[in-house]
Amino acid sequence: MRTYPLDAITDALGDGEGVHPDGYSGRGMYGKTCAAIKFGTLSDSFMFLVRLGMLATSDDDARMDPAHPASKAVFDLVNDAQTDSMGLGIVVYFPGWTFA
């Protein structure tokens, strides 16, 4: 299980509402759990991912180098992201990840 900093997640969200650091079990996970975030709309989730990337790469070295550890962590997290519709919103979940 990989870990992404919870404080970076809440900074990108603006608050911690909707964050499930490690207890979400998504489609096809067969009871395994992971980190997840609930959003009102798909657009909200896109904006979160953009802010997360901007915050992680605010350092010039990270912005210019996709292999920089901060950049790579965001790329890996986003690459692993899955979505599920809950009827009244969307959940973006990250199999194999926790937020701590």
pLDDT of residue 24: 93
- The DSSP letter of residue 36 is E
Confidence at 61, pLDDT banded by 50, 70, 90: low
Residues 20/97, Cβ–Cβ less than 8 Å: no
The mean of the pLDDT values for the chain is: 86
Tokens 């701590």 belong to 100
Q: Terminal CA-to-CA distance of the chain, rounded, Å?
A: 12
Share of residues in the chain with pLDDT > 90 (%) = 49
Structural domains counted in the chain: 1
> What pLDDT sits at residue 71?
76
Taking a C-beta distance cutoff of 8 angstroms, is the pair 78, 93 a contact?
no
Radius of gyration of the chain (CA): 13
Q: What is the mean pLDDT of residues 29-54?
A: 90
The predicted structure's pLDDT at residue 50: 86
With beta carbons less than 8 A apart as the criterion, state whether 48 and 39 touch.
Answer: yes
pLDDT of residue 63: 59
Inside any domain, residue 100: no
- Residue 19 structural domain: 2-95
